[in-house]
C-alpha cells in the first residue's frame, strides 16, 4: 500500500511561502511527478531557484527524475517526484504481550515485517533491545542496514508524553514510567525516535490506510481496556497532557456501582471491555476466562455472549454519542481485539449513536469495523516517523 497521499500530520501544511527546499519537497511528497516549470508555477519561485532546490533534494536522494514529459514547446523536460526508496523507517507496535515490527519506505509501503510475542512487563531495557535487534535483522533481510534509517516510530500500550517520548504512569508497564525511550533507542539507532500510545497511532494508521480522504475520524480500541484516538481536521488531537480520547473512564448509566481499576465506579471500561464482558458471563454460569473467550463464544453462536457483546456496543455508543456531538466525525472505526466479535459490537454502537445523536451529525457518519485491523498501529507508527522525517523543519535542516 502507498500512503503518500494526504497524510495526516500537523506539520504537513505545504510551506509555499517559504523559500527553502522544503516548500518544493512538501509539494512533491504526494508522489505526483512534476516538471520544473510546473513547480515554478505552483510556488511562484524563479526557474533558477527551482533548479537549485531540485538539485539539492536530488543530492539527498529524496527526489528523483521520473520519465520524461513533453513541455509546451514540444521539448522533453524531466519530471521529478518523491523517491520513496531513498530511506527506510522502522515502525514498532509494542503491545502488552505481542509486538509487530515493520520496515517501510518513505511512502509507507511495508518492505519487511515481523510479529511475535513479548512481555512489556520485562521492562524497557529488555523490550527495546529486542526491538532494535529485530529491526536490524529486518533491515539486513532486505539488504539494508541502520544507516538507511531516517526515523523510528514506536507505539506503546499506555499513556505517553509525545514531546519527550516518555511513558507516564503506564498501568501495565512496570519499569517504564518516565523512561527515556528515544534516548535509549538512539544509542544504537542515531535517528529521530517518535513515541506515542497505541490508540493514537492506530487512529493515524486507520486514517492513512483506509480513509485517505476523510478529515474527521475517531478510532476506538476495545480490548482489555477502552480508548480512542481522535483526528480532527486531519490532525491527531493529543490534548494538553496527551490523554485526549481517553474515553474508558467516562461514567455510563449502566455502570452504577461497578468498581473500576482507576478507583472510580461506573466507568465504561469496567462494563464494556473484554474482561468486563467475560466477568458478566461468568457470573451467569458460563465458562469464559477473558475477552478472547467471549469472542470464541460469539463465533460459536452463543446467544448470551452475543447479547452481552451487543450491550457492550450500546454502552460504548452512549459515550460515543457525546463524542459525536463534540467532534462531528464522519467515520468512527472500531478496532482492538473485541472488534473480532464483528457486527454484534458495531450494531450496538450504531443502535445508540444513530438513535441519540442529532440527525445532522449522523447524516454522513459511518460507524465501521477497523479496516486496517491488527496492522493499524504499526502502520500508524510508520506514519508518525515519516511525518516527522519529511516535515518542513526536518527537510530544511537537511538542505541548509
Binding site for Zn ion (CB under 5 A): 249, 260, 262, 264, 267
Chain position carrying cell 492506530: 202
Nearer residue to Zn ion within complex by CB, 85 or 251:
251
Strand partners, 110: 104
Report the nearest approach of Zn ion to the CB of residue 251 (Å): 8
Report the nearest approach of Zn ion to the CB of residue 65 (Å): 56
Are 101 and 114 in contact by the 8 Å Cβ rule? The answer is yes
Cα distances (Å, whole numbers) of residue 112 to 86, 105, 153, 262, 357: 16, 10, 15, 39, 43
DSSP for 281-299 reads: HHHTT----SHHHHHHHHH
Nearer residue to Zn ion within complex by CB, 44 or 259:
259
Report the nearest approach of Zn ion to the CB of residue 261 (Å): 7
CA–CA separation, 339 and 342 (whole Å): 6
Nearer residue to Zn ion within complex by CB, 242 or 248:
248
Report the nearest approach of Zn ion to the CB of residue 26 (Å): 42
At 213, give phi and psi (nearest 5°): -105, 5
Report the nearest approach of Zn ion to the CB of residue 271 (Å): 10
C-alpha cell at position 192: 529521530
Chain position carrying cell 526515523: 151
Nearer residue to Zn ion within complex by CB, 15 or 252:
252
Nearer residue to Zn ion within complex by CB, 231 or 258:
258
CA–CA separation, 178 and 123 (whole Å): 12
Neighbours of 206 (CB within 10 A): 29
Are 248 and 361 in contact by the 8 Å Cβ rule? The answer is no
Nearer residue to Zn ion within complex by CB, 52 or 265:
265
- State the pairing for strand pair 226-232/366-369: unpaired
∠ CA 213-203-118, rounded to 5°? 140
Report the nearest approach of Zn ion to the CB of residue 273 (Å): 10
Report the nearest approach of Zn ion to the CB of residue 249 (Å): 4
Name the burial class of residue 363, with classes exposed (0-12), middle (13-18) and buried (19+) by CB atoms within 10 angstroms of its CB: exposed
Report the nearest approach of Zn ion to the CB of residue 255 (Å): 9
- The distance from CA 386 to its chain's CA centroid, rounded to whole angstroms, is 12
Nearer residue to Zn ion within complex by CB, 84 or 336:
336
Are 61 and 105 in contact by the 8 Å Cβ rule? The answer is no
DSSP letter (8 states) at residue 223: S
Report the nearest approach of Zn ion to the CB of residue 157 (Å): 17
Nearer residue to Zn ion within complex by CB, 16 or 256:
256
CA–CA separation, 263 and 267 (whole Å): 10
Nearer residue to Zn ion within complex by CB, 249 or 350:
249
Amino acid at each position: 500500500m502507498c500512503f503518500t497521499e494526504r497524510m495526516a500530520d500537523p506539520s504537513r501544511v505545504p510551506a509555499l511561502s517559504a523559500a527553502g527546499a522544503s516548500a518544493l519537497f512538501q509539494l512533491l511528497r504526494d508522489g505526483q511527478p512534476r516538471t520544473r516549470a510546473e513547480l515554478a508555477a505552483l510556488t511562484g519561485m524563479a526557474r533558477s531557484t527551482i533548479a537549485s532546490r531540485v538539485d539539492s533534494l536530488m543530492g539527498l536522494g529524496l527526489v528523483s527524475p521520473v520519465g520524461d514529459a513533453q513541455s509546451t514547446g514540444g521539448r522533453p523536460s524531466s519530471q521529478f517526484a518523491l523517491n520513496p526508496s531513498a530511506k527506510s523507517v522502522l515502525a514498532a507496535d509494542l503491545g502488552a504481550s505481542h509486538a509487530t515490527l515493520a520496515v517501510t519506505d518513505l511512502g509507507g509501503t511495508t518492505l519487511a515485517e515481523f510479529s511475535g510475542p513479548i512481555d512489556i512487563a520485562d521492562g524497557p531495557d529488555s523490550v527495546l533491545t529486542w526491538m532494535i535487534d529485530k529491526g536490524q535483522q529486518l533491515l539486513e533481510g532486505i539488504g539494508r542496514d541502520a544507516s538507511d534509517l531516517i526515523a523510528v516510530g514506536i507505539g506503546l500500550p499506555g499513556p505517553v508524553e509525545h514531546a519527550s517520548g516518555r511513558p507516564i504512569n503506564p498501568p501495565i508497564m512496570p519499569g517504564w514510567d518516565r523512561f527515556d525511550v528515544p534516548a535509549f533507542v538512539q544509542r544504537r539507532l542515531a535517528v529521530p525516535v517518535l513515541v506515542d500510545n497505541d490508540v493514537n497511532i492506530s487512529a493515524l494508521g486507520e486514517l492513512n490506510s483506509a480513509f485517505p480522504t476523510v478529515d474527521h475520524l475517531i478510532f476506538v480500541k476495545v480490548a482489555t481496556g477502552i480508548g480512542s484516538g481522535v483526528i480532527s481536521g486531519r490532525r491527531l488531537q493529543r490534548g494538553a497532557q496527551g490523554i485526549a480520547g481517553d474515553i474508558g473512564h467516562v461514567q455510563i448509566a449502566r455502570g452504577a456501582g461497578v468498581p473500576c481499576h482507576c478507583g472510580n465506579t461506573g466507568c465504561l471500561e469496567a462494563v464494556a471491555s473484554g474482561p468486563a464482558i467475560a466477568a458478566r458471563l461468568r457470573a451467569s454460569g458460563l465458562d469464559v476466562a477473558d475477552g478472547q473467550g467471549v469472542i470464541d463464544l460469539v463465533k460459536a453462536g452463543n446467544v448470551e455472549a452475543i447479547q452481552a457483546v451487543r450491550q457492550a456496543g450500546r454502552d460504548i455508543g452512549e459515550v460515543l454519542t457525546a463524542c459525536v456531538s463534540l467532534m462531528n466525525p464522519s467515520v468512527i472505526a472500531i478496532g482492538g481485539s473485541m472488534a473480532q466479535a464483528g457486527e454484534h459490537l458495531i450494531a450496538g454502537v450504531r443502535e445508540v449513536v444513530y438513535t441519540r445523536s442529532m440527525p445532522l451529525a449522523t447524516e454522513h457518519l459511518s460507524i465501521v469495523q477497523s479496516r486496517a485491523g491488527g496492522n493499524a498501529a504499526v502502520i500508524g507508527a510508520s506514519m508518525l516517523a515519516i511525518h516527522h522525517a519529511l516535515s518542513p523543519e526536518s527537510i530544511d535542516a537537511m538542505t541548509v
